[in-house]
Amino acid sequence: MNSLFFLILVLLIVFACSRPFPSRSSSTAGSPSTTASVQNGSMDAQITSGGVSRHYILHVPTGYRPGAAVPLIINFHGYSSNSKQEEALTGMSAKADREDFIVAYPDGLNSTWYTGPGTDGQQDRQFVRDLIASLEGQYSIDPKRIYATGISNGGGMTDRVGCTMADIVAAIAPDSGAYNFWQDCSPSRPMPVLAFHGLDDKLVPYTGGVPQMMEPPIPDWAAAWTRRDGCASTPVNTTPVNTVTVQTWSGCQGNAEVILYTLANLGHSWPGSAVMPKTITSQAINATDVMWDFFKAHPMP
């Protein structure tokens, strides 16, 4: 009897030790790693979402330690761009190393984010949910400090995440956003919003385009968020430097806040970027620094 028990015990141990470790490319979330052998820095990765393999770049800060929960930022590239370019133009990985948060730079199919109500849009939104769940299964992520940002078409995707994923995303910070279907937005709770837009943006005009359901005037888009969040109707206007106007709507429900940075004489760009054209890029502020301060002030209620 003792011999039989010992044989069964040995077989169980061998079976457990022979099980493969979960791959980072898996879309199935497991338990966060508790070992010290975590790869730091930027790396390519994939998950399967909706039966399709989806690529992203993941940056794990140099100071990351398993078991110590850190924030997560999802950073969406613009139309016809990609995750590698987005990492470079925002400088967010270097900021992550300094401030100790994880950044994921997902890739849209065909270098595009689909923000509308159709099947493509639903698949992209499910991809974002699957990506967050996968990362939560692999790393120690604070569920109250998950955020989204992006530029242009990626700014529009950020806006869509704010409208549809308020259950898991604490705050959003789009830049130069193409806010298609902007009126189709019913977040489940007040959503803190920080945005940047150049007055001379030629690709996504500050004054809007035609039809306005696809290209809203940026002040109208911001005002719509203030109504959703139950903010004061009149913003506080400040001018930290001559070319930058900041409108802040406070008194919002649920500790939300809506802030719009308007950049005079500048175009479709990421403020503070070291790699985007100087003629359209503000160096008076750094969007990555400003939004990190905003995110820190707005965890999930």
| Beta-carbon contacts of residue 298 (< 8 Å; ≥ 6 apart) | 170, 171, 192, 255, 256, 257
- Binned at pLDDT 50, 70 and 90, residue 212 comes out as confident
All domains in the chain, ordered by first residue: 36-297 (3.40.50.1820)
Q: Is the pLDDT of residue 67 over 90?
A: yes
Confidence of residue 10 (pLDDT cuts 50, 70, 90): very low
Instruction: Report how far residue 263's alpha carbon sits from residue 258's, in angstroms, rounded to the nearest whole number.
Output: 16
Q: Is the pLDDT of residue 80 over 80?
A: yes
The pLDDT of 67-82, averaged and rounded, is 98
The C-alpha torsion from 165 through 167 and 169 to 172, rounded to 10°, is: 60
Tens digit of each residue's pLDDT (9 = 90 or more) over 245-290: 999 999 999 999 999 999 999 999 999 999 999 999 999 999 999 9
Is the pTM here over 0.75, yes or no?
yes
| Tally of residues, the chain | 301
Task: Please write the tens of the pLDDT for every residue from 23-51.
Answer: 333 333 334 554 446 899 999 999 999 99
Chain Cα centroid distance, residue 225: 18
**Whether residue 229 has pLDDT greater than 60:** yes
Of the chain, the end-to-end C-alpha distance in Å amounts to 57
> Is the distance from CB of 158 to CB of 221 less than 8 angstroms?
no
Q: What is the pLDDT of residue 81?
A: 97
Determine the distance from the C-alpha atom of residue 95 to the mean position of all C-alpha atoms in its chain, rounded to a whole number. 14
Which residues are within 8 A (CB) of 91 and not within 5 positions of it... i.e. 6 or more apart? 272, 273, 274, 286, 288
pLDDT exceeds 70 at position 9: no
DSSP output for the chain: -HHHHHHHHHHHHHHHHHSPPPPTT-SS--PPP-SS-PPPEEEEEEEEETTEEEEEEEEE-TT--TTS-EEEEEEE--TT--HHHHHHHH-HHHHHHHHT-EEEEE--GGG----SSSHHHHHHHHHHHHHHHHHHHHS-EEEEEEEEEEETHHHHHHHHHHHH-TTT--EEEEES---TTTT----SS---EEEEEETT-SSS-TT--SSTTTS--HHHHHHHHHHHHT--SSPEEEEEETTEEEEEE-S-GGG--EEEEEETT--SS-TT-SSS-TTT---SS-HHHHHHHHHHH----
167-195 pLDDT, tens per residue?
Answer: 999 999 999 999 999 999 999 999 999 99
Q: What is the mean pLDDT of the chain?
A: 89
Distance CA 40, CA 35 (A): 13
Residue-level pLDDT at 189: 98
Q: Is the dihedral of CA 19, 55, 129, 297 positive or negative?
A: positive
Mean pLDDT of 116-135: 97
